[in-house]
Structure 1
Amino acid sequence: MSTGLQPVITKAGLAAILTATKTGLSAEISHIALGSQAYTPSADQKTLRNEVARFPISSGEKLSGTLLHLTAVADGTTGYWVKEVGIFLKDGTLLAVWSHLTEALAYKAANIDLLLAYDLSLAALPADSVTITSTAAGLNLTLAASLAAQATALIDEQLRGLKQHDRQVSQERLQQIAGEQISSLLDRMSAAEKAAIQTRDGLLSVAIANATGLIALQYTVIQHIHGA
């Protein structure tokens, strides 16, 4: 989606266009500059008040004799609010400037590319007096790299999710196996305890029988002695 800009045409930019048209040429737009200061722009400006970075035009097309569509990619490690925009000619002349006292145009996050897409109205200039110098291949490569980085990040996140899921499944399986082993151990302990009880009861019965037999034998001996 494009943002419509109606910038102030600078006196220096107008002079450059008049010079070009006198020689049968068109002035060439080549760069977009972004700045961070908010104000009411002036036709006397030759620079932005607080330019942060300048970027080459990646692609552009004429929508009409006085309406241009420009795109560029703003990269860099600095984060800032875009409060002023400068359109520069190939020779470095500030052609047009946009700013607003209270409204920011966009936010450029640190280390994240910002795609700039502007429909630039140059109704104050002669029709077809401006052309565009662009590097369309650069835009394609930049966008491809950006999309590749986003895809890589998404794949990494999905991979982390899968690994976490696998770890969770493995942990649940281990818990299930441990539970089964504990249950089996408890069953074996119960069986051993039952066997021990049965063995103890058997030994107790044998001991009682032996004691009873011994008592009976002693009683028989005593009777025999007394009878004698």
Structure 2
Amino acid sequence: MSTPLQPLITKVGLAAIWRADKTGLAAEITHIVVGTSGYTPTNTQTALRTQVAKYAISDGQQLSETLLHVTAVADDGKAYWVREVGFLLSDGTLLAVWSHPTEALTYKSATAELLLAYDLSLTALPANSVTITSTGAGLNLTLSAELAALASASIAEMLRGVKQQDAFDSQDKLNQQQGQQILNLMDRMRTVEQRQDLDHDGLLTAIAANATGLITLQNLFSKTTLGV
């Protein structure tokens, strides 16, 4: 994503454009410079206040007569907050400068590359008076590495989600199995209780039958003894 900037055109930059225009050529932006000081720019500046790095334009596009899209890659091992940005012409002239007293554009880590992508509005200059000269390398390799990192992160997140879902499914299956086991155990307990009830009823029946038989035998024995 590009950051739209409305930089301040410097006096030396405007003079360089006039010189180029007299030869029938347009001034060429070739580099981006970045610094760490935050302030309100002036058109008398010829350099950044605290420049920390200079990067060649990797790619660029003229979006309109006064709007340019420029990109560069900060691929060194420096770490800093970007609070001022300058655009240099091919002869080293500071064409335009942007800064803010309190707001930083971004942060450059020492361990990661930073893509500098800006939509540069030059409405204060004559139409088509400035062009872009890039290294011609483009940003395919840089972007492919970044996209690969994003893809890897996305795949890792998806894998974590799949693993979590598998864990949930496994737990759900375990809960279902445990529930079924409890139901089976309850059925077995009811069966045992029914058997116990049946056995209890059968035992009472047997006792009653035995008692009846015993009484019958006692009666017969008594009649025999009495000679009845």
What is the TM-score normalised by the length of structure 1?
0.70
Instruction: Give the equivalent residue in structure 1 for 2:106.
Output: 107
Instruction: Give the equivalent residue in structure 1 for 2:167.
Output: 167
What is the TM-score normalised by the length of structure 2?
0.70
Structure 1 residue 182: deviation in Å? 1.6
1:62-73 correspondence runs (5 A):
62=62, 68-73=68-73
* Secondary structure, counterpart of 1:49 in structure 2: coil
1:61-100 correspondence runs (5 A):
61-62=61-62, 68-74=68-74, 78=79, 80=81, 82-89=82-89, 94-100=94-100
Superposition RMSD in Å = 4.2
1:126-137 correspondence runs (5 A):
128=129, 132-137=132-137
Instruction: Give the equivalent residue in structure 1 for 2:146.
Output: 146
Deviations 1:15-50 (A, max 9, x none): 877998999997653321233422122455454223
Structure 1 residue 168: deviation in Å? 1.9
Report the AA paired with residue 49 of structure 1. Answer: R
Contact residue 8 and residue 96 of structure 2 kept, 8 A: yes
Report the AA paired with residue 107 of structure 1. Answer: T
Task: Supply the distance in 2 between the matched residues of 1:121 and 1:112 (Cα, whole angstroms).
Answer: 27
Out of 33-42 and 105-114, give the one that drifted further.
Answer: 105-114
Instruction: Give the equivalent residue in structure 1 for 2:118.
Output: 117
* Secondary structure, counterpart of 1:210 in structure 2: helix
Structure 1 residue 218: deviation in Å? 4.7
Contact residue 20 and residue 27 of structure 2 kept, 8 A: yes
Structure 1 residue 5 corresponds to structure 2 residue 6: yes
* Secondary structure, counterpart of 1:137 in structure 2: coil
Q: Percent identity?
A: 50
Figure out how many residues of one structure are paired with residues of the other and give that number: 224
Task: Supply the distance in 1 between the matched residues of 2:113 and 2:211 (Cα, whole angstroms).
Answer: 95
Structure 1 residue 189 corresponds to structure 2 residue 189: yes
Deviations 1:145-195 (A, max 9, x none): 222222332232223223322322232222222212221221122112201
Contact residue 38 and residue 83 of structure 1 kept, 8 A: yes
